Structures are given as C-alpha cells and as structure tokens.
C-alpha cells in the first residue's frame, strides 16, 4: 500500500509515542479461554488506568462467527495464523500498523514478514506452539510419538481420551496419519480421513478445553492438545508425558489484532505496544506455557520453560512439524463438511 509522506510522518509521530501515552477508560479483549495472564492484565490496567474485560472463546470459528454477527462490543481478538487472512479479507480488522509502534523493534525477525500478515500491518505476536500428544504414563507405557494415540487408540486409553475441538488441528494430524498433505483436495485421501475420524470418535471421552485440570487429575489419560496446556498438566502431575506425532503435527501462532469497529482503539493500540515489551510478553508465556515472538523475553521466563520437553522439538521430529496455513476456500469447504460429519 502506498502512503503519502505526510501520512507516514503523522503516523510515526502517533505510534512512536504510544509507549509513553497516558490513557483511561476500558478495553474489551476477546481471546481463547485460559490463555490470558491475569498478572499481565493487572499490570496493564495499573499502568494506563484502563479497565480490561476478557471474554473467552473456544475456537477460531466461534470467534469469527461472533464478530461477523455484529454487536459484540469487543476491541481486540486473537486469531490463529491461518485465520488472519480471512479476517483481513472480510474487512473485520483495523490496519493498526503495529510495525510503526515503538516496541515493534522487539519482535523476533522470524515473526515480522509472516505470510498471514506481511510486515505486520494488522497483528502482533501473542503466543505460538504446536499440537501434540499428552499421556499419563501410569495408564499407558507404549509409544506416544504418534497420532495413533487418538486415531487408533490402544485399549488402555479407549474411553479416556480428550481431543482439541479445533477442526484444522485435528484434520491436519489425521490427513498426515493417512499419508496425505495439508490442504489436499484428493477425494480418496479425504474419505480415509473422514472414515478414520468417524471410527475413532466413539473411543474418545471428550472434545473440550479442560485439559489443564482433567489431565493431571486423571479424568483423561490421553489427549491430542496444545503443548503449553500439556506442560501445565505435567507441572501438576509428573506422570504426564508429551509426544510429537511422527506422522505430522501442526505449529500455530496466535496474534493480537484490533477490530475495525472497536470502540476503544487507542487503548487497544496501547495494549499492542505493551505486549511487545519483553517482560510483558514473558508474563503471557509464563502463564500459558507457550513461546512468544518477542526478543529478550526469555530472560524473564521461569526456569522450567527453558528446558521443557513440550517446548523443544527433538531433532528426529523436526521435519514432521508444519505451520498451519489457510487452505483455498473450496478445500476449506470440504474440510468443514468432514468436520460436520464427525461431530454429528
């Protein structure tokens, strides 16, 4: 996009001073459940005299549908990388230009020119991670570095498995498990995917977001879920082990964005700039146990995160991980149809 010189100068003046701005009023954040550090929110509220309200959602599709419907009252939403282009294309996000904010210099270079938001005109890194396997070793002592844990579960785990209720994460692992590639439209592959999921689902106990409580408590013995939540479970119960599906697993990044119809735009911009401070990014990661995209935050992280097996991919599994990307609309429709069948 081309900008007139005067517009650029004006924008730089505004965004360059964001870090030192004073504020008051409110900020309404719409984010994934159990994903926002209360300590970080309190720090932001005290610094800027802003009352923050956090409302939870349980999937990218839930968030998108809520905002599409209008009348939501939210200022900030935190979509995953493969959904950001959808939000932008539908005109739901403000081009807030975080790349011109004073703390943008702290964003790790690998997360600046990302395919879902080149140059970061709309979004700021929140957290990133991967979807893998969590198992209670007292219940099952076999190989856990496989999606068979939830797609062809061993008898010890049948009826004790929870699967993340997020379509793309589940379909990614299943497509890889049957030998396909992400975003494939191959009807034979997709039939195998559908049949495998329909066959496996009766062997699961649940598809919900209560892993950090129910896995360490023993209500679940196996999960296909996000690595940070499984780490939090292990810290409560050392019998929990993490596995990297050798057939293939998805990486994700969630990013903070400002809604186009936000009522508290300036406070939302302050929040964007605030979370790009290394110490504040570390508060986010310390709570949810995921990596962030901010340089210098590692020194503020708790020691257990620096050596966590859930956060360091073993060399033999590195090639199995791929970043979740947005599939073409016709392919996405096929996947939605499969997901609807699975959830009947």
Among the CATH numbers 3.90.1150.10, 3.40.50.40, 3.40.190.10, 1.10.1740.10, which is that of 19-128+253-306? 3.40.190.10
Average pLDDT, integer, range 15-44: 82
Q: What's the pLDDT at 217?
A: 98
| Tens-place pLDDT, residues 200-250 | 999 999 999 999 999 999 999 999 999 999 999 999 999 999 999 999 999
Calculate Rg over the CA atoms of the chain. 20
In angstroms, the CA 292 to CA 273 distance is: 14
Class of domain 131-251+314-342: alpha beta
Q: What's the pLDDT at 328?
A: 94
Are 295 and 278 in contact, with CB atoms under 8 Å apart? Answer: yes
Domain map (residue ranges) of the chain: 19-128+253-306, 131-251+314-342
Write out the H or E segment, with its range, that includes residue 224: strand 222-226
Q: Which two tokens stand for residue 263?
A: 């009522």
Average pLDDT, integer, range 48-72: 96
Of the chain, the percentage scoring pLDDT greater than 70 comes to 93
DSSP codes, 169-191: HHHHHHHHHTT--TT---HHHHH
CA atoms within 13 A on the CB side of 333: 3
Q: What's the pLDDT at 16?
A: 44
Domain 131-251+314-342 in the same topology as domain 19-128+253-306: yes
In angstroms, the CA 276 to CA 108 distance is: 10
3-state helix, strand, coil in the chain (%, to 5): 45, 20, 35
């Amino acid at each position: 996009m081309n900008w007139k010189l005067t517009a650029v100068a004006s924008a730089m003046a505004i965004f360059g001073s964001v870090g030192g701005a004073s504020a008051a009023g409110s900020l309404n954040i719409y984010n994934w459940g159990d994903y926002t550090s209360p300590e970080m929110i309190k720090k932001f509220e005290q610094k800027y005299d802003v009352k923050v309200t956090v409302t939870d959602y349980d999937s990218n599709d839930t968030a998108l549908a809520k905002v599409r419907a209008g009348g939501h009252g939210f200022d900030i939403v935190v979509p995953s990388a493969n959904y950001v282009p959808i939000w932008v294309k539908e005109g739901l996000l403000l081009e807030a230009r975080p790349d011109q904010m004073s703390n943008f210099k702290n964003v790790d270079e690998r997360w600046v020119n990302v395919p879902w938001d080149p140059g970061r005109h709309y979004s700021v890194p929140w957290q990133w991670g991967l979807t893998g396997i969590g198992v209670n070793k007292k219940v099952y002592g076999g190989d856990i570095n496989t999606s068979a844990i939830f797609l062809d579960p061993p008898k010890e785990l049948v009826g004790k498995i929870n699967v993340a209720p997020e379509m793309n994460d589940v379909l990614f692992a299943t497509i890889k498990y049957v030998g396909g590639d992400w975003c494939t439209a191959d009807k034979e592959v997709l039939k195998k995917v559908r049949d495998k999921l329909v066959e496996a689902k009766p062997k699961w106990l649940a598809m919900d977001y209560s892993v950090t409580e129910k896995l360490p408590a023993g209500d679940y013995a196996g999960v296909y879920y996000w690595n940070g939540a499984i780490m939090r479970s292990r810290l409560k119960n050392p019998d929990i082990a993490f596995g990297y599906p050798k057939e293939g697993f998805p990486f994700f990044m969630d990013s903070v964005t400002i809604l186009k119809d936000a009522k508290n735009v300036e406070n939302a911009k302050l929040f964007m700039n605030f979370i790009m401070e290394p110490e504040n990014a570390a508060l986010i990661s310390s709570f949810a146990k995921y990596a962030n995209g901010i340089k210098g935050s590692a020194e503020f992280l708790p020691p257990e995160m620096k050596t966590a097996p859930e956060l360091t991919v073993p060399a033999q599994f590195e090639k199995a991980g791929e970043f979740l990307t947005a599939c073409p609309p016709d392919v996405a429709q096929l996947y939605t149809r499969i997901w609807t069948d699975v959830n009947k």
